[in-house]
Structure 1
Amino acid sequence: MTEVREETEMEATTGDTAADGVIDSSDVDIADFDLRRPRTRPFGWRFYLVSFLMVDIVAVGLLQWSVWTVEPLRGFGGFISKMWTSNEYQFLLNLLILAVVYLILIVLVNRFWIASVVFLSIVGFCAVADRFKVMVRYETIKPSDLGFLKSDAGSMLGFIPTGSSRVFMDAAIFFLAMIVIGYSLHQRDGRRGFIDLHGRAKTAVARVVLIVCPGLFLGLFTAGLANTGSWSYNFAQTLGDSPKLWDSVIDAQANGTLIGFQRFVNPKVMDEPANYSEKTMAQVAKRYTQAANEINQTRESNLEDSTVIMVLSESFSDPTRVPGLALNKDPMPNVRAIKSQTTSGLMLSAGYGGGTANMEFMALTGLSMANFDASLSSPYQQLIPKLGWTPTFNQLWNDGKDSEAFHPYESSMYSRSSNYKKFKFRHFWTLNEPDVIAHQSKIDSSPYVKDSDAYQSLLEKIDTSKSQFLSVLTMQNHMSYDNWYSNNEFQATSTTGDPLGLDETTQIQTYAKGVEYTDEATKAFLDQLDNIDKPITVIFYGDHLPGAYASASENTDNSVALHETDYFIWSNKASGSHGTKLPDSTTAYTSPNYFMAQAAEHMNAKVSPYLAFLTQLHDKVPAMEPPVVNKIQSWSRIPDGQALYLDKDGNRVDITQADKATRQLLEDYRLIQYDITAGKGYLKDLDFMSLPKTEALEDAEEAAKLPVGTKNAGEVPMVNGKLAAAAASQQEGQNTQNSAQ
C-alpha cells in the first residue's frame, strides 16, 4: 500500500535517504535506538512497531487508571494478568480498539511521533475527565455526558472534585514529558512523513484506504457492541467481555473503560412498529382519551389528592411457596394478614436473584421489559441517559416537585442518582452526599440498613400539608445471606427427598429471618401511617426472589413459581379507599408496569389516557414479562425464548392465540413504548400522560375569567367557597406537569 524504496549501500553508509521513504526492512543496528546521536536516517520498522505497541499499552493503562481510584497499578496489572489466570482477554480487546484509533490518527497526521503525542494527549484528557467523574459520582463518563459539547461546556466543572490539584499536576507533568519525548524522537527521525506523498495517486489511495477501512471497522464494532447477536457482540464475548450494567465503574474495571463506554453508544431499544407515524399515535391517544373519559365517569377521587408511597422491598417473597421447601414457621404472618384485607396478589418478576432496577423502572414508568429488544437488559444504564422525555408517575405530583425517593445504599448503583434527577424527584436520599438518608442502623452482622430504618427515614419526610409521591427501595434482604442474624430459629428442609446443601440451607434460613424482620417492620410502618390524618396509599411489592434456592432452580418446571413475588395496595384510615379490596379475579396476578393503574382503581381515582390504557391491558393480560430463567440476573442480554404472559389464574398464555381486542392492546403498547423510548415522542404534546383537571383547577380557571375591578378587587376572590389563590397554585402545578409530560 505504500511505495517501498530500497536503500542503496551508499545511502546506508552516508545516512542519506529520502525523508519520505518507507521503513527499511534491513537489520537495525543498535545505533538506531541511540536517541542522543543526531541523525537523518529514519528509524527501523522494529522501532516503530515497538513504539506503537508501547504507546497503545500506555493508552489502555491511562483509561484503566481513570476507574481505579485506589491502587491503579495493581488494578491494571490484574486487568492484564486475567489473560493467563482466567483466560479473559478484555485487555487485548481494548488494546485492539485503541490501536485502530491510533492508526487512523497516524495516517491522518502523517507524522508518527506527532500523532503519538496527540493520541496520548486525547486519551490522557479523557482519562482525567473520567477519573474526576468517578471520584465525584462513582460513575464513568457515558456518551450521554458528551452533550455538554453542544450545550453547556461549563457543566464539566461539576465533575471536578475538590483537592484535585495533585491530579492536575501529575497530568501536566505527563503531558510535558510526552511533548519532550515526542519532539526529541521527531527531530531524530529522518522520516518526516510516515507515508510517501510525492504526487503518486496510488499513495493517496493507500492513505484513504488506511483511514476508511479501520474507521469502518471501528464504527461497525461500536454500533453493534451492545446488540445481541451482532458480530462485534460475539467477538467481544469471545474475548471475555461480560457486561456488569449495575455499576459502570465495576464494568469498566472488569471489561475495560473504552469497551464500557462503547457499549452505551448504540444499544438497540426495540424495533419500530410497522405502522408507527404521527397519525397513528394521534389515533392511539384519541382511543384512550375516550377510554379515560368513560372510566372517569364512575371515579370520584383524584390521584394527586392523596400521598402515594411506593415500596420496593428488596427480594421480598413468600419462602413457603417455593417448590420442594418447608420452613418450621411462617416468616410473614403480618403481610399475609394485610394481603387478606386489601387489594393484593402475586407479581410476576422479570428477575431471579437480581434485576431490581428493571422492576423499579417498570413500576415508575408503566413500560414493560417484554417490549424491548433482548439487547436492552438495563434501561437505567442503556436507555434513560439518552432520553429527552422521561414521563414517570411521580411527575403527576406537581411535576415531581412533591416527590422524593429513599434508598439506604449507594446512589450510583444503576445510575440512579442521575436518573432520578431526570425523573424530577426533588430529593433522592441515600448513603451518599448531598442527600444523606437519616437512619442507617443494621441488624446484628448484616451489612445492609434495616427496613425499619428505611421506613423511618421516609416517615419523617411526610408533609401532611400537601400530597406527595414517595418511593423507598429497601436493602435489608439483599444477597448474599451469610448467617447474619443471632438467635435465628428458622429451619429449612427439603420435601423432595433430596436434602438441601449446607450453603443453601444457611442462605434460606438467613433470608427467612430477614423476611420476618421485614414483615414486622412493614406492619409497624402501616400502623404509623394509620395515625396520620392525611389520605395515604401504599403500593408494596417484592422485586424478585432471592437467588438462594439452588435445589428448586434446577427444575425448569419451577420457572414461574420462582418469578412470583408478593404485592399489596393499602390505604390508611384517612383515605376514602381504606379497607378496599378489589376482587381477586382482577388482582391475583400482575406485573410492575400495572401498579399505578391498579392503585388508581383501588383509590377510585380518575385516570389519564395512559393509565386508562394500562387498566384495559391489565384486564386482558394480567401479567407479562420477558423470557425468564432460574438464574441470577445476567446483564449481557435478556434470556432467549418467548415473553411470558399469564392469565387471571396464573396460567401461561399463548399470546398468538389471543382475541382481536387483546392483540390490539398489545400492538398499541408497542407503539406507545416505542414513541416514548425510541420514537419521535408524538404523545408528549397530546396530553396522553395528563390527569383530568381537578375541581380546584376548574375553579381557578373560573376565577381567572372574572373581570378586573369586580367586587373585592385586590383581594383573593372566593370561588365556590374555595380560595382562588389556592386553586391558582394548583393550576400552576398542573400546567407545569402538562408541559413536562
Structure 2
Amino acid sequence: MDDSHGDGAGNGGNGSRHGHWAIGKNGKRHWCFPGWLYGILFVVFDFCFLAILQWSVTQTTSGVDLVSTAGGIGEMIGKIGTGNWVFALNMLLIGLIYLTVLMIFNRFWIATGLMFVLSCIIATVEHLKIEVRYETVYPSDLNFISGGNGGEIASFMPDDGARVIIGMVIFMLVLVALCVFLNHIDGRHGSMIRFSGKSKALGAVIRLLLVVLPAGFVSMYTVDVGTTDSWAYGVSRGLGDIPSMWDSVYDAQRNGVVPSFIRAINPKVMDEPANYSEETMKEIAEKYSNVADTINESRSNTMTDSTVIAILSETFSDPENVPGVTLNEDPIPNIKQIMTETTSGKMLSSGYGGGTANLEYMELTGLSMANFDSSLTSPYQQLIPNASWTPTFNQMWGSADNSIAVHPYEASMYSRETDYVKFGFSKFYALSGGTDKIQYTDKIDSSPYVSDESAYKETLDQVKSTDNSQFIQLMTMQNHMPYNNWYEDNQFEVTSNDDGKSESEISNIETYAKGLSYTDEATKEFLDELDKIDKPITVIFYGDHLPGIYKTAGEDSANSIALHETDYFIWSNKASGQQGTKIADDAYTSPNFLMAEAAEQMDANVSPYLAFLTSLHSKVAAMEPPVVNTIQGWDRIPAGSTIYLDEDGKQVAYDDLDDETKQMLEDYKLIQYDITAGEGYLKNTDFLSLPDNAGTM
C-alpha cells in the first residue's frame, strides 16, 4: 500500500501526513485509511460482488428472493465444512478480477465503484434473461451483441424489465455514492501503490506485476478449465465446482455465476485430426457421394416426402432385460408386438439415469459422443451456443415451418429453447418457458409429469395441422425419475429378489413398470391414429437411457452393457407403403445411426452423409463412449476406450476391427471435427444434401 511521502491523498503534495492523518487543500485533517483496513474492505467488497451476482440467479415465481439469495450463499459457505470449497473458488476468481481492476486504476474507491457498477449491470442482464428464458447468460450471448444484434435485446425484455432496471440503477447509484463518500473521508483517497524518487520505478514494477499476475491467472484458468485433466480443471473440481449442465440456472446457483460462465468460454471439443484439410474433406465428400449414388440406385422414395416423427421416450427400457429383475407381468406387450413387425432392436445408450440431451443430440445430428474429447460432456450447453454451423437432420425438410419440437416440460432444460432455434425449428411447444405452450397437460394419478398420452395428442395435432411433410421431435417426460409410488392400483410386482434388493429399489422398479405400461398403451393408440392419416409417416421411437434405480445390478461391472441398452423401433404407417418393413442389421444400434436406418426403412434416397452412416452401421452396429453404472454426471465422459458392438451385441475391441472399418472411423472423426470444431469445409459441398437438392442440412 502507499507509504510514500507527501499527503498520500493524491493532492500533489499540498498537504502533509501526520501519522494516519492528512491535511487537504482546504486545511481540514482527514484520516488516512491504513493498509490493513483496505485489506479487510477488499474481502468485504469481494463478498458483496459475489452476493450481487448470486442475487441475480436466485429467483422465485414472484421474482428475486433476498432471503433465498442469503440462504444460497450460506449454503455455499456451509459446504466448506464438508470439504466443498466452491465458495472460496468464487471469492478467488472475483477477487483476482477485482485486484486487476484495482491495480489498473491504482485507486481503491474508483476500482470498487467500477466493480459495483459492473456487478450490478451483469446481475441485471442475468436476471432479465432468466426471467424471460430461465437461462443464464452464455459466452455466446456476448457474440450475439458484438455481432450487431444489440438492438434486438429489447425484444427479450420481460414485462417488469423497466422496474428491475430502474431499481438496479438506484441501488447502483447508492453504492457509487458510498464509494464517493468513503473516498472523501479517506485522507489517502484510496491511493494504492505510489513511490517517488528512486523508488518510482520499483512502484511501477510492483503495480505491473499485480496487474499481470492475477489477470494472467484468470486468463489461463479460463482457457484451460474446459479441458479435462488440465491444471485449471483440477483446481476447479478440487474446490467443489460440480457442473449441473442440465439446468444453467441451478448450475449458477450451485457453483456460482462466475465459475459456471467461465467454464463455458473455451470447452475442448476435439483434437484436430492429423490429416485435416480442405482437400481431405473434399475427398471424403466425393468418396461418400459415390457411395450414396450406389445406395440410391436401389432406393425409390424421397425422404422428405414423408413425415418423420422422432420420439425420445424418457427412460424407456424393458425392466426384464436388467439382470436380476423379474416381474409378475409384462409392462410393454404392445410395443414388443410392434417390434416384431418392424425394424427394431436394442439401442446402446451413453447415459444411465441421465444424459438425455446427449442422446437427443446424436439422433438429430448423426454425430457421436464417442468422437468428442472427454471434456465435452454436454454439446447442448458447451458446443451449440457458440457454434456458427449446426446441421441437423430436420433441416432437410426445408422451411423451418416444417420442423416442430414438443417437450411437455420446461423449455429451458438443457438450453433446448435456444438450441432448437439454431437447429432450425420454427416451433418448440413446451409446458413452461418459451413462447409456444402445449395444450394437453394431463397427468396420471399423483405423478408430477405430463402423461405420454397428452404428449402424443399434442404431436398428433401438429401432424394433422398441415398436409406438408414434417420433421417432428418429441421428448416425453412421463417416466422421468423419481418413482415415488405415483400410481393407484399398481399391479406390478418384482417376483424375484435373490440378489437382495432393498425395499426402496423394489418400490422404484414397480412404480417405473406401471409408468411403462401407460406408455405402452398410449404408444399403440398413437400409432393406430397415425395409421388413419393419409400421408406417409415414419416414427423413430427409442428410450434415451435406463432409469438410475437398478442399484443392485449396477454393483456388478459385468452388467455395464445391459444397463446401457434401451429398446427402439422404426415404424411406418399404411400410407407410406413401407409398413411391415424390417431392415437388415437392425438388432443393435446407437442414436447416431437412427436417421440412416429410418431412410432405409422408408426406402429413401440418401445424402453422402447418410450414406456414410449407413455404411458405418453395416460395420459397427453401435458405438458409444465408455459407460458407468452410476447416474450420469456432468464432470466428464468416463475414462476408457470407446465401446463398439457387433451385430450380435458383442463388444469388439478397436484393434480387432478390419482396416476398412478403422478407416471409416477415422473419416467419422474428420467429419465430426469439420462440423463442430473445424473450418466447416463440408458446408461448401453436397455432403449433406439429398439427391436433386431435395433438402440440405
* TM-score (normalizing by structure 2): 0.94
1:470 is matched with 472
Deviations 1:268-307 (A, max 9, x none): 0011000000010011101001111111111100000111
Q: 1:498-537 to 2 correspondence within 5 Å?
A: 498-537=499-538
User: Which secondary structure does the structure 1 equivalent of 2:485 belong to?
Assistant: coil
Q: Where does residue 40 of structure 2 map in the other structure?
A: 50
Cα distance 1:216–1:84, how it changes in 2: closer, same or farther (>3 A)? closer
* C-alpha separation in 2, matches of 1:488 and 1:371: 43
Q: Are 2:430 and 1:405 equivalent residues in the alignment?
A: no
Question: Which residue in the other structure is 1:294 paired with?
Answer: 294
**Cα distance change, pair 179–573 in 1 and its aligned pair in 2 (3 A):** same
Other-structure match for 1:255: 255
Change (3 A) 1:503 1:41: same
Offset of residue 3 of structure 1: 7.5
Contact 1:17 1:41 in 2 (8 A): no
- What residue number does 1:195 align with? 193
Read off the aligned partner of 2:481 and give its amino acid letter.
Answer: M
Map of 1:349-388 to 2, 5 A cutoff?
349-388=349-388
When structure 1 is superposed on structure 2, of 672-681 and 44-53 the one drifting more is 44-53
1:92 aligns with 2:92: no
Instruction: Decide whether the 8 Å contact of 2:264 with 2:382 is kept in 1.
Output: yes
Say yes or no: does 1:635 pair with 2:637: no
Structure 1 partner of 2:79: 83
Tell me, what secondary structure is at the counterpart of 1:389?
Answer: coil
Aligned residue for 2:422? 422
Match of 1:143 among 130, 139, 144: 139
Partner residue, 1:178: 175
Q: Distance in 2 between matches of 1:575 and 1:645?
A: 33
Matched, 1:62 2:47: no
Counterpart in the other structure of 1:128: 124
Moved over 6 A (4+): 26-29
Paired with 2:170 and 2:56, the residues of 1 have a C-alpha distance of 17
Q: What amino acid does structure 1 have at the position aligned with 2:165?
A: F
In the alignment, does 2:215 pair up with 1:243? no
Counterpart in the other structure of 1:606: 605
CA-to-aligned-CA distance 1:697-721 (integer Å, 9 cap, x gap): xxxxxxxxxxxxxxxxxxxxxxxxx
1:417, distance to aligned residue in structure 2 (A):
0.2
Deviation at 1:494, TM superposition (A): 3.2
Shift of 1:49: 1.0
> SS where residue 347 of structure 1 aligns?
strand
Residue 38 of structure 1, CA deviation: 5.1
In the other structure, the counterpart of 1:113 is 109
CA distance, structure 2, for counterparts of residue 458 and residue 377 of structure 1: 30
**Distance in 1 between the 2:436 and 2:451 partners?**
19
8 A Cα contact 1:43 1:190, kept in partner: yes
Counterpart contact for 1:64–1:72, Cα < 8 Å: no
The question of whether the paired residues in 1 share the 8 Å contact of 2:593 and 2:613 is answered with: yes
For residues 143-202 of structure 1, what are the alpha-carbon distances to aligned partners after superposition, in whole Å with 9 as ceiling and x for unaligned?
000111332112322342112343223212222212221112222333253221647222
Asked if structure 2 preserves the Cα contact closer than 8 Å seen for 1:464 and 1:534, the reply is: no
Question: Quick check: 1:21–1:191 contact (8 Å CA) kept in 2?
Answer: no
Alignment match, 2:98: 102
Separation in 1, partners of 2:331, 2:9: 85
Which runs of 5 or more structure 1 residues have no equivalent in the other structure? 695-733
Counterparts of 1:305-384 in structure 2 under 5 Å? 305-384=305-384
Q: Which has the larger radius of gyration?
A: 1
Distance 1:88 1:77 in 2: 16
Q: Which residue of 1 aligns with 2:625?
A: 626
Question: Is this contact kept in 1: 2:222–2:263, CA < 8 A?
Answer: yes
Long gaps (5+) in structure 2: none
Contact 2:347/2:542 (<8 A) preserved: yes
1:18 Cα deviation from its structure 2 partner:
7.2
Change beyond 3 A, Cα 1:367–1:187: same
Q: Deviations over 1:365-420 (max 9, x none)?
A: 00000000111110000000010110000001014331101000000000000000
Query: Residues of 1 paired with 2:195 and 2:401: CA distance?
Result: 63
What residue identity is the alignment partner of 2:342?
T
TM-score, length-scaled by structure 1: 0.89
Letter in 1 for 2:670: L
Aligned to 1:72: 66
State the secondary structure of the residue aligned to 2:575: coil
Alpha-carbon offset, residue 570 of structure 1: 0.6
Measured against aligned partners, the alpha-carbon deviations of 1:564-595 in whole angstroms (never above 9, x if no partner) come to: 00000110011121111113xx1100000000
Look up the SS of the partner of 1:461 in the other structure.
helix
Q: Deviations over 1:100-140 (max 9, x none)?
A: 11111011111110111011101110011001111110000
Identity %: 51
Contact kept, 8 Å, 1:20 with 1:196, in 2: the verdict is no
* Structure 1 match to 2:456: 455
Q: In 1, Cα distance between the equivalents of 2:403 and 2:319?
A: 33
C-alpha deviation, 1:87, in angstroms: 3.4
Tell me if the contact between 2:304 and 2:397 (Cα under 8 Å) persists in the aligned partners: yes
How far apart are residue 4 of structure 1 and its match? 4.5
* Shift of residue 493, structure 1, vs aligned partner: 3.4
Q: Report the residue type matching 1:237 in the other structure.
A: R
Q: Would the alpha carbon gap of residues 76 and 228 (structure 1) be closer, same or farther in structure 2, given more than 3 Å must change?
A: farther
Structure-2 separation of matches of 1:103 and 1:28: 27
Q: Is the 8 A contact 1:580 1:602 kept in 2?
A: yes
Aligned residue identity for 1:551: T
Q: Indicate the SS of the match to 2:385.
A: helix
In the alignment, which residue of structure 1 is the partner of 2:159? 162
Give the 3 Å change call, closer, same or farther, for CA 689–39 of structure 1 in structure 2: farther
Q: Which is worse superposed, 654-663 or 620-629?
A: 654-663
Amino acid at match of 2:425: F
Of 483, 486, 495, which aligns to 1:484?
Answer: 486
Alignment of 1:1-40 (within 5 A): 4-5=3-4, 19=10, 39-40=29-30
Q: Deviations over 1:320-373 (max 9, x none)?
A: 111011100111110100000101110000001111100000000000000001
Q: Match of 1:669, as an amino acid?
A: Y
Question: For the Cα contact (< 8 Å) 1:89–1:239, is it kept in 2?
Answer: yes
Q: Are the equivalent residues in 1 in contact too, given 2:2–2:8 (CA < 8 A)?
A: no
User: Contact 2:195–2:202 (CA<8 Å) still a contact in 1?
Assistant: no
Secondary structure, aligned partner of 2:528? helix
Letter in 2 for 1:368: S
CA distance in 2, matches of 1:61, 1:383: 29
Q: CA deviation at 1:27?
A: 13
Deviation string 1:222-253 (CA, Å, 9 cap, x unpaired) is: 11222211111111112111100000000000
Change (3 A) 1:662 1:39: farther
Q: SS at 1:409's partner residue?
A: strand
One-letter amino acid of the counterpart of residue 276, structure 1? Y
On the 8 A contact 1:349/1:359 being kept in 2, the answer is yes
CA distance in 2, matches of 1:484, 1:18: 69
What is the rounded CA distance, in whole Å, between the counterparts of 2:9 and 2:120 in structure 1? 34
**1:243 and 1:215 mapped to 2: Cα distance?**
24
1:85, CA displacement in angstroms?
A: 5.2
Deviations 1:476-526 (A, max 9, x none): 10001000000001001335x233211101100000001111011100001
Letter in 2 for 1:484: W
Read off the aligned partner of 1:79 and give its amino acid letter.
I
The aligned counterpart of 2:446 is 445
Deviation at 1:75, TM superposition (A): 3.0
**Within 2, Cα distance between the matches of 1:536 and 1:74?**
49
Relative distance call for 1:336 and 1:17 in structure 2 (3 A) is: closer
Q: CA deviation at 1:67?
A: 0.3
Q: For 1:471, what is the secondary structure of its paired residue?
A: strand
Say what the alpha-carbon RMSD is for the aligned residues.
2.0
